[in-house]
């Protein structure tokens, strides 16, 4: 077996702990999204469809029901063009994994397949096909639908861990009380926020992290609603100054920070910050970075600068079935970067070494931070 094959085998076998998704455990009912219409109306693909079909006004697209939107996406990106973008290729990978034809002219066969699935079995099959053993959700108590479920005493599948999202909760009048209440109710594994520029969070957030021994996740570099006509597909990116992150890590050595950046230009600086501060854990290739070439490049850079002490990827899946492609594709990029680094060692690694590293990178380190 070649080195590349040995590494691929270990990376494929390593269970994933997925540090950031937008998935919901089956107990959340209709909030748990799956199936071909959900896959095709993923906002990454909506943006690509509206770009490919400039005569289709966003307002006209969003006015249609979900199945009609999915038909439009299928026609624009799969029938009349080849699915070459990462998000489109991902749908093809998922369909093929279920034995469906990614080159079908319409969605009849795929819809019939998903309609015949039982949700409990589907969750098991997807987690197995993706090799995912645990994951973090994104939980926002300001969302009325989600809030009602938590208040009704919902207990999620133990593989689906809560992560308390603060993007909107942070504006609460009595943030301290809200945090106490939702930490008690959700038992989150970390607190999280997405920001454009880094600034110190309110004192109540850092206090809650200390008191409950919870990491604080910062997702840095998003510029919301650059094109508001695209709705959730309309956000952009900018490279940002990470000096405030250094200050935050230095002033709060007892708080652990999970950090991902959206701009490719910020990847290197984040590695340098992490070299200086062991309480900063770089994780994932977020959103516009979640492409095979950038995952490989980013993973190489992180391996060269940090060794195997980071979390190379998270899926950011919004639709359950996406776990299959996000992790199959990411595993390839991670294996390729690892193979190149092992190739630079004077003595080739043993199978046991490769397995140890693959397990740490795919799930071990994330599992420690998530207590999963
Ligand atoms: O990647 C995405 O789906 C984005 O829309 C965002 O949800 C982003 O990942 C976030 O968590 O803010
Ligand atoms: Zn996300």
> Please, which residues have CB within 8 angstroms of residue 274's CB and are 6 or more apart in sequence?
259, 280, 281, 282, 305, 306, 310
- Each of the 372 residues of the chain gets a pLDDT tens digit; together they read 999 999 999 999 999 999 999 999 999 999 999 999 999 999 999 999 999 999 999 999 999 999 999 999 999 999 999 999 999 999 999 999 999 999 999 999 999 999 999 999 999 999 999 999 999 999 999 999 999 999 999 999 999 999 999 999 999 999 999 999 999 999 999 999 999 999 999 999 999 999 999 999 999 999 999 999 999 999 999 999 999 999 999 999 999 999 999 999 999 999 999 999 999 999 999 999 999 999 999 999 999 999 999 999 999 999 999 999 999 999 999 999 999 999 999 999 999 999 999 999 999 999 999 999
Q: What pLDDT sits at residue 206?
A: 98
Q: In this structure, are residues 95 and 62 in contact, taking their beta carbons and an 8 Å threshold?
A: no
Cα(109) to ligand 1 centroid in Å equals 30
Testing ligand 1's pocket by substitution, the residue of 260, 287, 290 carrying the most ligand atoms inside 8 A of its CB is: 287
Cβ 316 under 6 angstroms from ligand 1:
yes
Q: In this structure, are residues 141 and 169 in contact, taking their beta carbons and an 8 Å threshold?
A: yes
CA distances (Å), 244 to each of 197, 199, 249, 251, 358, in order? 9, 6, 9, 10, 32
Count Cβ atoms within 10 A of the Cβ of residue 337 and give its class: 0-12 exposed, 13-18 middle, 19 or more buried: buried
pTM for this prediction: 0.98
Of 20, 282, 279, the C-alpha closest to 164 is 20
Cβ 318 under 6 angstroms from ligand 1:
yes
Q: Which residues sit with Cβ closer than 5 angstroms to ligand 2, an ion?
A: 316
Q: What pLDDT sits at residue 339?
A: 98
């Amino acid at each position: 077996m070649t080195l590349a094959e040995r590494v691929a085998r270990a990376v494929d076998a390593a269970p994933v702990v997925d540090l950031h998704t937008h998935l919901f455990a089956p107990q959340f009912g209709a909030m748990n999204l799956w199936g071909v219409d959900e896959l095709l109306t993923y906002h990454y693909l909506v943006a690509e469809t509206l770009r490919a079909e400039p005569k289709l006004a966003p307002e006209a697209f969003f006015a249609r029901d979900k199945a009609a939107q999915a038909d439009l996406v299928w026609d624009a990106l799969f029938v009349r063009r080849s699915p070459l973008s990462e998000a489109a290729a991902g749908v093809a990978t998922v369909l093929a994994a279920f034995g469906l034809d990614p080159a079908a002219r319409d969605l009849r066969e795929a819809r019939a397949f998903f309609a015949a699935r039982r949700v409990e079995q589907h969750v098991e099959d997807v987690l197995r096909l993706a090799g995912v053993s645990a994951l973090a959700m994104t939980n926002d108590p300001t969302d009325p639908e989600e809030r009602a479920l938590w208040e009704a005493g919902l207990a999620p599948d133990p593989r689906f861990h809560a992560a308390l999202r603060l993007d909107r909760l942070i504006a609460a009048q009595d943030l301290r009380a809200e945090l106490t209440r939702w930490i008690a109710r959700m038992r989150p594994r970390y607190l999280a926020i997405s920001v454009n520029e880094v600034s110190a969070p309110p004192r109540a957030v850092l206090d809650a992290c200390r008191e409950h021994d919870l990491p604080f996740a910062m997702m840095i570099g998003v510029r919301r609603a650059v094109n508001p006509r695209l709705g959730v597909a309309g956000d952009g990116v900018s490279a940002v100054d990470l000096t405030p992150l250094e200050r935050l890590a230095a002033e709060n050595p007892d708080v652990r920070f999970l950090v991902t950046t959206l701009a490719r230009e910020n990847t290197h600086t984040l590695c340098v910050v992490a070299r200086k501060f062991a309480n900063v854990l770089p994780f994932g290739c977020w959103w516009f970075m979640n492409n095979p070439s950038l995952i490989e490049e980013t993973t190489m850079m992180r391996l060269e600068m940090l060794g195997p002490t980071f979390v190379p990827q998270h899926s950011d899946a919004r639709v359950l079935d996406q776990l299959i492609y996000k992790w199959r594709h990411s595993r390839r990029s991670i294996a390729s970067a690892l193979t190149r680094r092992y190739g630079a060692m004077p003595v080739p690694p043993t199978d046991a070494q490769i397995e140890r590293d693959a397990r740490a990178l795919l799930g071990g380190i994330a599992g420690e931070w998530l207590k999963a």
